Structure formats: structure tokens, C-alpha cells
Structure 1
Amino acid sequence: MTDLTPNHDDRPATRIGRRSLLKMTTAGVAAFGVAALSNASKSKAQTMTSEWDKVFPLSEKVDHEKVSFTNRYGITLVGDLYLPKNRADRRLPALAVGGPFGAVKEQSSGLYAQTMAERGFVTLAFDPSYTGESGGEPRNVTSPDISTEDVSAAVDYLGLHPSVDRERIGVIGICGWGGFVLNAVAADKRIKAVVASTMYDISRVSAHGYNDSVTPEQRAQTLEQLSRQRWADAEAGTPAYQPAFNVLKGGEPQFMVDYHDYYMTPRGYHPRAVNSGNSWTQTNPLSFMNMPLLNYIAEIAPRPVLLIHGENAHSRYMSETAYEAAAEPKELMIIPGASHTDLYDKVDVIPFDKLQSFFEQNLA
């Protein structure tokens, strides 16, 4: 384990007050819990855009093209494919990149993908099912299975591309997609190496709240509310949505201010992102609360796992416990002074040299 933290035992997650946590979890489902009926805007699927509308500039070192492919359930996914300009006719190693949870490919995953393409990999950042430019109705809903499937569908696409050596494919998951890629790699033996950066286990935080602070009684109450919301949705013929994400009212914990500073400012705002003032359906947490993502993480071995997390991230404990559950070969890299969202887009903080060496070694 690579631990660069000056004081490893001083876990920032434990310093979040219980009252603040329960305030956020709305009867125990963390930031993804049931909420009052809202008129918050919902992002719509739309025709695949041709213009560059990312929150980062296009690199002169890569070729870029918009692509689409279909997952195992017949949903069309839209992605951005990045290829090194100096690739000639070689078949190169490739990376599928997803996340964060509630983000789109024009944000963090696209930045990671483009940067890794500059370093010699064919990369694919994609919008998950039901979000962004990808298909699926209703909008802004997902499940552990659908998100895991989307990772493997991206691997399907890469493995058929003429510039890709299909025996050298890895994956990167950011935030909530860290959990999804770990789940996907456990089952999909085509994937040779995996990186989870600033990882969230969405099933864990949905089922048990931050720092596993939700009581059985609170969990039961939340499931009661979510279950009855299904009748309301069925009667209305359309799902109710949670309030708009990342709209601050004052008094929020620092990590929620950090989310706002990424998703709701020019730094990372994108109108198609769930997290940029849009919202998930109210019943979205249901399947996450009952279907743990990381039960089979040890079965990734003997393929290597690299977990990267910020020293000061409220979510750091999720990578630490995932590291404990994973089998060798594995590594946990703690970035000194970094918060959760620093690893979304701060290129001087994200350890791209480490990512490059990890994949060069393990996709050789």
C-alpha cells in the first residue's frame, strides 16, 4: 500500500458530525435518499452533439470522435473516443473511463480519458444509460446492474475497434464509478487492470449512510417511503424526482460545498449532468440499498487493482475498506492534502504519471 499521508489514522470522514450527516441523508439514504416531490429540472437525452462542449480544452495531441454503441439491454450509449495522434497503424492498449456518479463524459471522465490518450492509450469516456446523451427512459435513473453493464459494454466497443489490442484493455472509475468498475472487473475477465479514483461505493452509502451511520430503524423507514413512492409514480405514470442537486442553502458540510464548487460553477458545470442542478428519480436508491457492489472484489485477482484517494476526502474510508477486501496484487495510494473533488479535475493533483506506469506495466 502506498500511503503518503502524514497522519494516516486521522481520518477526515470521522470528523463529520453525526447531526450533519443525518441532515444530509434524509432518513438514512445519504445524498441519494428519498426527498420531497420537486419540480427540479431533469436533463433530457438529445441528439449526439458535434461541437466541443467539454469543461476542458481539446488537446492537440489526440484525435477525438463521438461514438455510440449498445449495451446488453439494448440501450444506446454515447461516448467520446480519444486516440493518440502518433498511433500509426499500431494496435494500442485501451481504457474505458466512467464517472463520477451523476456526471457526464464532458466532465471528469473525459479529462481523464483525454489525458491518458495523450500518454499512448486509446480511451473511451461514456455517458451511462439513462443520462447525458445516452439513451434510456425515464431519465436520470440507474441501478448497480445497469451501471456495471455499461462498463462491460464500453469494453465490447473497444475490443472491436481496429486501433485497439483487445487483450490489453483496462478501466478507470471515478467517484461512484470506482465501485461500478470494481464490480464489473470482478465478473468481466476481459479487463486486465483497474483503477478506482476517489472511489464511492454507492450501494454502501445508499444502504448505510456516510460512515455507516444509519440505524436499522432509519433504513426501514427509508425503504418504507421509497416503496410507497412506487405507487405514487405508477399512478402518475412518471417518476417523481429529487430536489436539484448541489444547490446550497447554507450550513452544508465542506464536502458538499466542494461538490457545488465543481458541478455548479464554470469549473465543472454541464447542463446534461445530473449533479449540475438536475436530479435523480426519488426511487433511484432502491436497488442500491439491497444489492451490494463489492461482494466479489477479491475475485478481481490476479489482475491488479489500484485505488487512489485524497488524504482529506470525506469518502476516503470507502477506498480503505475496499483495499482491505481486495486480494493481491493491490495498491492504495493516498494523495496528501487532497479532497474528494480535487481528484475530479486538478491535473497537478491527479497522479497521471502513476496511472500511466500502472497501465503500461499491467497492459503490456
Structure 2
Amino acid sequence: MIQSVSFTNKAVAISAHLHLPDDFQADKKYPALVGIHPAGGVKEQTIGLYARRLAAHGFVVLVYDSSYQGASGGEPRLLEDPATRVEDARCAADYLTTLPYVADDRMGVYGVCAGGGYALAVAQTERRFKAVAGVSATPMGEAARSMFGQPVSQDDLIRTLEAAAAQRTAQARGGEPVYVPFVPERLEDIDANTPTMLREGYDYYRTPRGQHPNSKGRFLMTSLDKMFAFTTFHLLPTLLTQPLLLIAGSDADTRIFSEQAYALASGPKDLFIIDGATHMALYDTPGYVDQAVARLVAFFGKL
């Protein structure tokens, strides 16, 4: 059972799907989860796949398109603003608390890829989330400032910020916006040096496997200053005290982020490595998703 619903983040209308258990009864109380989609993604893709699977195990699950993206409102379009992404998740929790069949003392949050990073970020200061999980979790700030966990030079970071600043000036003077792809946009953009995650990203987002008309797979270049300034890890050791589950593929380029988060977390924590899986395999590959869902069900079943 999937219902199309909406809520707001300040003045921005958020388009959402509410996934209900098959045997849903309005007079019962259910544990509820907020699901956060990857950067460049939308609610109909991998986050919705996980929502359907989790709802089948008795959870009410709310997934949505983030502000400025997908079917949600907000200008400028395709802005990737981590602070707003975190607030979207808070507003999703607000919405769930208005539903009479949601046990608001049994709410959790999960996310895939950047959504997993945002799930870790919001749970640090949103105490209504009693448990948090990340699948192929990728913290946006840390990822923007590194190459799959490997440091990027200060000079390169400054050059990127200078370019973003110049683009802001150009747009302030009436210039056209510039967009940056999260994954290759054309097959010919891929060569032997393309990282596995980006190679698989093309296969997921740019082919019938996972593409969706609302998922542009790009972000506004002037998002970069906000992405660089954001951090998930800084306060994680002190503020993330809720139970934490991290799920990563053994062969994922982004596995390092789950390992780093696990090392930093001081509360109850579990790092589940799925043998043979890559980052993108956890999006929709049946055998790997089956393992991830089983672990999520057991984890959130303790809410």
C-alpha cells in the first residue's frame, strides 16, 4: 500500500510516498521509518525499493523527494544543500507524528548513499529518531572534500571553491546556471580510469535499470560551497548515541565511509559488510538487497 502524501519544509512543498504494511489497520500503532534518497535520486528509486520491503515487515515508511529536487518544490532547482536535506528529514518526522497510527516513540531513520550520510547527520540532533541506519552510507561533506576517503589537496579544494564563487557572481549578473553530474551522463564519458561507483552509477541512473524522469543525477554547481562546509563526522562521537547500523559492500568504493563512521560512533553500533557487493549493488541487486533488508528489519525491529 503506497499513498501519495505531502508535507512542507518551511515554504517548500515536499512530495512523498507513504508505504503501509499489507495488513494495515488504522486503529493500530506502528513503528515508523523515514527514508532518505541518494544525491541525485528520487523516492521512486532505491529508497522506495527499501521502503516497500520494510513496509512488508510491518513498518510505516515515509520517503520523499528532497527540497529543490524531484517532484518537490523549491528554487533554485537541483540545489544540493546538506542543511536543508537534514531539515527535510526533521519535517518528515513532524509529518509522521501527525498520523494517529504511528507510534512516535518508535521512529527511526535510514538512507542510501548520501541519504545514509544525511541519516547519520540528522540523528545526531533529532532525538525523535531512536535508531539510525545507512546503506552504502556516504557523508556529503566528507565525500565532497575527498576522493572516496582519500584526501584532496588544499589547493584543489580552494580552486573548486573559487570556481563556485565565480559561478555565483556570473549568475548574480544574469548568467545561466551550471550543473555538475553526480555520475557520468554518457557512456563515452567512462574509461578505464573511471571508479567502479561512477561506472555503476551510469548503469543505474542513466539506463532503464533505475532511471526515472524526475531523477536528473545532477546538482547546481553553486551547491559546492554548502557541500564543502558540511560535516557529518565532527559531532558524531558525542551526539549520536542512538543505535547505529551501517551496511556496506565488501567491494564498495565507499566502504571506507562506513568504517570511519563505525570507528567514530560511541553508542551501540553494528557494521555489516556484505561479501562481494559494490556500492551500487546494494541499490537493487536482489541477493544483496535481501541481506541488507533482513539486517534492517532485525535492527529496526528493536524500536
CA shift, 1:243, in A, is: 5.4
For the pair 1:295 / 2:234, whether they are aligned, the reply is yes
Letter of the structure 2 residue corresponding to residue 84 of structure 1: P
In 1, distance between residues paired with 2:175 and 2:160?
A: 22
Distance 1:338 1:141, change over 3 A: same
Which residue identity does 1:259 align to in structure 2?
A: G
Cross-structure match for 1:39: none
Q: How many residues align?
A: 296
Structure 1 position 245, deviation (Å) = 4.3
Q: Which has the higher strand share?
A: 2
Alignment of 1:323-342 (within 5 A): 323-342=262-281
Given residue 77 of structure 1, which amino acid in structure 2 is its aligned partner? I
Match of 2:195 in 1: 253
Q: How does 1:155-174 map to 2 (within 5 A)?
A: 155-174=93-112
Q: Distance in 2 between matches of 1:216 and 1:242?
A: 21
Output the aligned Cα RMSD.
Answer: 1.5
1:304 to 217, 223, 243: 243
User: What letter corresponds to residue 284 of structure 1 in structure 2?
Assistant: S
Q: Which residue of 2 aligns with 1:274?
A: 216
The offset of 1:255, in angstroms, is 2.3
**Unaligned stretches of 5+ in structure 2?**
none
Counterpart for residue 17 of structure 1:
none
Question: Contact conserved, 1:99 with 1:177, CA < 8 A, in 2?
Answer: yes
Aligned to 2:89: 151
Give me the TM-score of the superposition, normalised by structure 1. 0.78
Q: 1:221: Cα distance to partner? A: 1.3
Residue in structure 2 matching 1:344, options 259, 263, 283: 283
Please state how far the C-alpha of 1:146 moved relative to its aligned partner.
0.3
- Kept in 2, the 8 Å contact 1:306–1:330? The answer is yes
The correspondence of residues 60-209 of structure 1 with structure 2, limited to 5 A, is: 63-71=1-9, 73-88=10-25, 89-209=27-147
User: Displacement of 1:244 after TM fit?
Assistant: 8.2
Which of 252, 272, 279 is the aligned partner of 1:313? 252
Amino acid at match of 1:154: A
- Quickly say closer, same or farther: Cα 1:144–1:244, change in 2 above 3 A: closer
CA distance 1:163–1:237, shift in 2 (3 Å): farther
* Residue 85 of structure 1, CA deviation: 2.6
Asked if structure 1 preserves the Cα contact closer than 8 Å seen for 2:141 and 2:230, the reply is yes
For residue 23 of structure 1, what is the aligned residue in structure 2?
A: none
CA distance in 2, matches of 1:294, 1:243: 25
Q: State the secondary structure of the residue aligned to 1:242.
A: strand
Equivalent pair of 2:248/2:274 in contact (CA under 8 Å)? yes
Which of structure 1's runs of 4+ aligned residues deviate more than 6 A? Answer: none
Relative contact order (C-alpha < 8 Å, sep 6+): which is higher?
Answer: 1
Contact 2:183–2:198 (CA under 8 A) maintained in structure 1: no
> Which of 137, 146, 149 is residue 211 of structure 1 equivalent to?
149
Relative to structure 1, the CA distance from residue 234 to residue 321 in structure 2 (aligned partners, 3 Å threshold; closer, same or farther) is: same
Pick from 266, 284, 295 the counterpart of residue 354 of structure 1. 295
8 Å Cα contact 1:113/1:125 also seen in 2? yes
8 Å contact kept, 2:41–2:215: yes
Greater Cα shift, 204-213 or 135-144: 204-213
